[in-house]
Amino acid sequence: MVHAAARLRDPCGRPRVHALRARHGDRAQPPAAGCAVTTDATEQEPAPGADGRAPEPRGGSSVRPTLQIEDLRITYRGSRGEIPAVRGISLTLNPGDTLGLAGESGCGKSTVAAAVLRLLPPGTEVTGRILLDGEDILAMSFGKLRAVRWAGASIVFQGAMHSLNPVHRIARQIAEPIVLHEGIGREAAEARAVELMAQVGLPAWRATSYPHELSGGQRQRVMIAMALACSPQLIVADEATTALDVMIQAQVLRLLKQLVTERHIALVMISHDLSVLADTCERLAVMYAGRLVEHGPSREVFAGARHPYAQALSAAFPTVGDPAERRNPQGLAGDPPDPADLPTGCSFHPRCPVVMDECSTTPVTLRAARDDWQAACLRVEATAGAAAAATGEDLPAPTLLTKGDA
């Protein structure tokens, strides 16, 4: 079914193939009627510096952010009623920044990704602002949006097989966004496609292959080549390597990291796997029930998360880059809550191993653990001093709090 539903649009928004649309609906959402920021005091509001931006953006304070998400709230409307999937997220990426977005299934990661290119199903309510290079994605005309997709920002999905057109040869598919966005002839665009293939480690003779003739890793490389084809400022990789075997995953991640670094592209990488994100991205944001619960420098968050949920996720992946040693989240009973029926206070409190009485009544916003590091936990002040004192390798190894510590 995915195939039939997915084969709706091409990379530039024309009808063809798209895995995310198979999942989220087949049409881009029209400009949201009310893009105004909602202000619900019970919801998470961005704390000062809650976008995790470093105090001085790379390249100086005059750098215009590539992506600025401000108080993003997204509510799906369907047969199950209203599903508030994202509840007030703010993030900023400057050129060349790499951000990992982690969290258990259903916490809203893909919804954020889809919103960035306005790929959410019709009828979905979106408030807040998403600025791509200063331009408001939510308020854009369809024509402008079409121009921005692939040329300004592109997405690499998990299921390359479903995102590629099975009846077209590889070079032609990579060339398609180039033809559309740069107005050059197909022959010249296919020559560029072969160059892009070389950059992602695909030999030129593969130009005439069909997707089914490629391995999963090679197809993901094709998707990366397509994502790079029009030199976007931003790439969103949504579980782009999850389905690959460990060796290929490592290769594709290295490649992605190298290309975004060389081209100064901002990267948002989405994964369940904190260790992969910590290895690939400079910053890490952890989501729970539609909100950010932790946001800071990747390796430090991975090594010494301040939020008990982020601690549990880190403990599930004890060795960066060694999936063989991964375990299930430690010390976490229960499941993530129904987004339509969140617990009061901190949404995580029913599962929290160090819950306090006030956690069930006090809404928790992101608060500073350090100037470039925030966590949404009432206990964060208690650990902020240690975090501020520690830098890089000085940070203590993560110790997952237990009930006895409370």
Nearer to ligand ATP, 145 or 270 (CB): 270
Contact 131, 64 (CB under 8 A): no
Q: According to the binding rule CB under 6 A, does residue 122 interact with ligand ATP?
A: no
- Total residues contacting ligand ATP by CB under 6 A comes to 17
Per residue in 155-192, is it b (16+ CB within 10 Å) or e — as a string? bbbbbbbbbbbeebbbbbbbbbbbbbbeeeeeeebbeb
Task: Tell me how far apart the terminal alpha carbons of the chain are, to the nearest angstrom.
Answer: 49
Dihedral of CA atoms 51, 352, 341, 269 in degrees, nearest 10, equals: 40
The interface mask with ligand ATP, positions 24-53, x = CB under 6 A, is: xx----------------------------
Q: Which of 10, 44, 72, 76 binds ligand ATP (CB under 6 A)?
A: 76
Q: According to the binding rule CB under 6 A, does residue 106 interact with ligand ATP?
A: yes
Interaction with ligand ATP in 332-391: which residues (CB under 6 A)?
339
Contact 257, 98 (CB under 8 A): yes
Q: Which of 41, 105, 134, 341 binds ligand ATP (CB under 6 A)?
A: 105
Contact 120, 29 (CB under 8 A): yes
Phi, psi values for residue 220, rounded to 5°: -65, -35
Interaction with ligand ATP in 9-28: which residues (CB under 6 A)?
24-25
Q: Which of 53, 109, 129, 295 binds ligand ATP (CB under 6 A)?
A: 109
Q: Which of 52, 96, 100, 103 binds ligand ATP (CB under 6 A)?
A: 103
Nearer to ligand ATP, 28 or 380 (CB): 28
Which range touches ligand ATP (CB under 6 A), out of 40-48, 100-108, 218-226, 388-396? 100-108
β-pairing verdict for 67-78 and 81-93: antiparallel
Q: Which amino acid is at 42?
A: T
β-pairing verdict for 98-102 and 266-271: parallel
Q: Which of 28, 107, 278, 293 binds ligand ATP (CB under 6 A)?
A: 107
Q: According to the binding rule CB under 6 A, does residue 123 interact with ligand ATP?
A: no
**What residues make contact with ligand ATP under the rule CB under 6 A?**
24-25, 76, 78, 83, 85, 103, 105-111, 121, 272, 339
